[in-house]
Amino acid sequence: MAVTESARLKEVNQLKNRLYTNITHEFRTPLTVIKGMTDSIKSKLDNKQLDNLAYSFEMIERNSDNLLHLVNDMLDLAKIESGNLELHLKQANVIPFLKYISESFSSLANQNNINLTIYSELDRLVMDFDEEKLTSVISNLLSNAIKFTPEFGKIIIHINQIIQTENDFLFIKIKDNGIGISNKELPNIFNRFYQADASTIRKSGGTGIGLALTKELVSLMSGTIDAKSTLGKGSEFILMFPITRQAPASKKAKINKLSYKSVSNSLPMPSEQVLETDSDLPLVLIIEDNMDVAHYLKTCLEKKYVTIHAINGIKGIELATEKIPDIIICDVMMPGKDGFEVCATLKSDERTDHIPIIILTAKVTIEDRLTGLAHGADAYLAKPFNKGELFTRLDQLVSIRKKLINKTQKEGFNTLLKKRSKNPKLQFLKRIVKLIHENINNSNFGSEALAKKLLISESQIYRKIKAITGKSTAVYIRSIRLQYAKELLLNTKKTVSEVAYDVGFNDPSWFSRIFKDEFGFAPSETSR
């Protein structure tokens, strides 16, 4: 009977889907192992060996990344088919986001000598959208456009808001003047595993799954996608998404109020006051010549970080030395000084060498990584990155810093400083300790005097000491004095008062109190 037949077909289909999902899933573990093992082998090699093997590593990484990408796409497709892929909508200004995603492809386009233009008719359009899925859709269409457009070609992304049948839509057109698709093949391009040419024009491999997934994602977002193309002339893909405003608004009203056009040369800098009041939040310096990327980064980071922005490498170095940020995120390709040069300069300056630097790049090739490492970069982020990735990187760097702070506190400065270490952070601390020891009985030797001796400003030294030890300059100087006092008490026959004066305290009872605070026992208890 027809009913049982259709039930049976449904069951078979479900079974097929489950099998497909399971198998696809099974590919992920070995792939992750391959990638992990590659990293682990690499970490055991020295720079010269890495140099020799750079090409092989790059091949392993590129191929496993491609495979992982494909597996993830297939999983997403299966999830959509079984109704298990959910939308994560939020309400926000979609324009800077779209510009940022598109802009992330400009260096890839440049590398292929293709001109990529992003043109938006509006600066602001608040609507519901799913960041991750929209990224996937735009990335897919743009990487196709780049893949199928020869050198000196042109790609235009046109963004607008249009009204059709009384409904508002977000309109995105991605147009290229590349190889085009024939009329015969055009209807099939959204089918899974369909590839139009299979001939020599194909610049790089592909799987024919990208557009199938793109179409599914677009309809999951209640949108439509259309393709027009003329063989030999080029293709255009038109996306339309209905504009709704029901999802919870992301709390970025402050940033969104700022008209995007008014962000001319540099994003508004937090004044000293802002830095003071928000001083609990870490300060991030963004060095990025592209306003869209900078703006996006800034919106990602607000609430958890205070951000300042420099529009090129030279300004970035100036701002880094002036403000001593906690972390720097730096683009590679910039006019003037590129990201690697910025990295090298900051890492060889005593005032800034402790600051972790995240390098932002379009494609993380092994060469990039090596160049970056050689210049002292601490981490990489490939564009377009997602927020999760960004925060993971930032958290990793912050936790490494915390570890060092804990270590300095746990081991006591003295043991740590006795170690022969090339770590610039420890060398800096050693110099400070030496200066304080030289002036230990001078109660006036405080942060101002220290700054003068080190030839850097008080606020620079404050931020640097805070970053390495977690303490303010005054507290740090005091703890060095107390540490020295403890040694005197343990190793000499001096009285508590004598020691107090020796280490620059004019009031022995005050000295006793804070000594107890610092070590948990009174100075008088050491002599016994």
CB 133 within 8 A of CB 87: yes
The CA radius of gyration of the chain, in Å to the nearest whole number, is: 29
Based on CB atoms, which residue is closest to ligand ADP, 100 or 148? 148
Shortest distance (Å) from residue 139 CB to ligand ADP: 11
Q: How far is the CB of 175 from ligand ADP (least distance, A)?
A: 9
- What values do phi and psi take at 129, rounded to 5? -160, 160
Class of residue 94 by CB neighbours under 10 A (exposed 0-12, middle 13-18, buried 19+): buried
CA distance 13 to 11: 5
**CB-CB contact of 192 with 262 (8 Å):** no
* Residue 176 or 331 having the CB closest to ligand ADP: 176
Taking the complex as a whole, the smallest distance from the CB of residue 237 to ligand ADP amounts, in Å, to: 7
Min. distance of Cβ 14 from ligand ADP in angstroms? 25
Least spacing, CB of residue 162 vs ligand ADP, in Å = 22
Measured from the CB atom, the residue of 197 and 507 that comes closer to ligand ADP is 197
Nearer to ligand ADP, 194 or 380 (CB): 194
Where do contacts with ligand ADP occur on this chain (CB under 6 A)?
144-145, 148, 176, 178-181, 189, 194-197, 206-212, 235
Residue whose CB is less far from ligand ADP, 36 or 232:
232
Which residue, 150 or 470, is less far from ligand ADP as judged by CB? 150
Does residue 269 contact residue 292 with C-beta atoms inside 8 Å? no
Q: Are 296 and 104 in contact (CB under 8 A)?
A: no
**Helices and strands, counts by H and E, the chain:** 19, 12
Q: Taking the complex as a whole, how short is the minimal distance between the CB of residue 81 and ligand ADP, in angstroms? A: 16
Cα(364)–Cα(369) distance, integer angstroms: 7
H-helix segments, 1-105: 2-44, 47-81, 94-103
- Helices marked H in 304-446: 313-323, 339-347, 366-374, 387-418, 424-438
For ligand ADP, give the closer residue by CB, 225 or 284: 225
- Give me the least distance between CB of 105 and ligand ADP, in Å please: 13
> By C-alpha distance, which of 174, 201, 163, 161 is closest to 185?
201
